[in-house]
Amino acid sequence: MSTGQIIVVLSTAPIDRSLSNTLGNIATNLGLALKPHDQHGSVMVGSTYAQRWHVSRELAPTERDTFRRLAATLSLDLAFMAPTFKPEAMRVLAMDMDSTLINIECIDEIADFAGKKADVAAITEATMRGEITDFSESLRRRVALLQGVSESVLESVYRERLRPNPGAIELLTAANKRGLHTLLVSGGFTFFTEKMQHDLGFTQTQANTLEIHDGKLTGRVLGDIVDASGKALHVKEACKRLGCKKTAAITIGDGANDLLMMEGSGLSVAYRAKPIVKEKADAAFDRVGLDATLALIT
């Protein structure tokens, strides 16, 4: 059985050959043996250039951080994967929505129309960083600030401000073509996830429902809130229905409330994420698009 760990270097531009020397010096300083994982050098998958290296043992968190800090200075992203990872075994692609699949936090933009964006965004940021640990309470506090906002604002946010993040369309197209069960699981709102399902072809979506009365938001959420544990449960249940374990799932998120969903998955990706998420994820994308995921499972 293969041992050690695979470092996948990811870039939006061709990867310079001098990278091998730089990585080799870092590895030597850490007491690691480094060699190319294959003889093909850089390969291009979609819009992403990828290069794989094998190190002699699994890296400690501090060592991964050392490599990632180096990569940042070279405008590169990294993934750390087990040699035993089997791309063909992946059955589920589960993604967060706000600031992961799409470019905005929908609740912040709704609040902007009500002149309350700063108040709502402050709670959102504290929650994403993990400073507010009760997501359900955080969401209720933010939604309460939206009381009286016209439901037409939701359509305005969708039409005027919401855009898929780079590589999102390409990733979903390829995942659906491969027959993956694509799951959009969000602490946001069904108004937006349902539109994303229609536009991008998600197999399944799970999110929260805003209560609306007489054309205005009441400031309440209907039913159980999809929080961190809810996200993890939906991923687990999707895998169970397909007859596979969570190790057959790819999970992508950006905030602290995505960590439970990502834990134990076959491949976890932190997309332009908070530090606590990048620290724990297998891959951290700060420069490449979401479709770089395809370079990891090809």
The C-alpha torsion from 48 through 292 and 298 to 90, rounded to 10°, is 180
Dist CA 76 CA 10 (whole Å): 6
Pick the catalytic residue from 38, 65, 98, 199: 98
Helices within 227-289 (DSSP H only): 228-242, 259-262, 275-280
Dist CA 52 CA 93 (whole Å): 22
Query: Would you call 98 a catalytic residue per the annotation?
Result: yes
For tokens 């531009």, name the residue.
Answer: 13
Pick the catalytic residue from 96, 108, 227, 291: 96
List Cα–Cα distances, 101 to 126, 193, 230, 271, in angstroms. Answer: 20, 10, 18, 9
User: Alpha-carbon Rg of the chain, whole angstroms?
Assistant: 20
Choose among 83, 60, 68, 58: nearest CA to 23: 68
**Contact in structure between 133 and 260 (CB atoms under 8 Å):** no
Question: Any idea what DSSP says for residue 263?
Answer: T
Three-state SS for 99?
helix
Q: What is the distance, to the nearest Å, from the Cα of residue 29 to the centroid of all Cα atoms in its chain?
A: 31
Q: Which residues are catalytic?
A: 96, 98
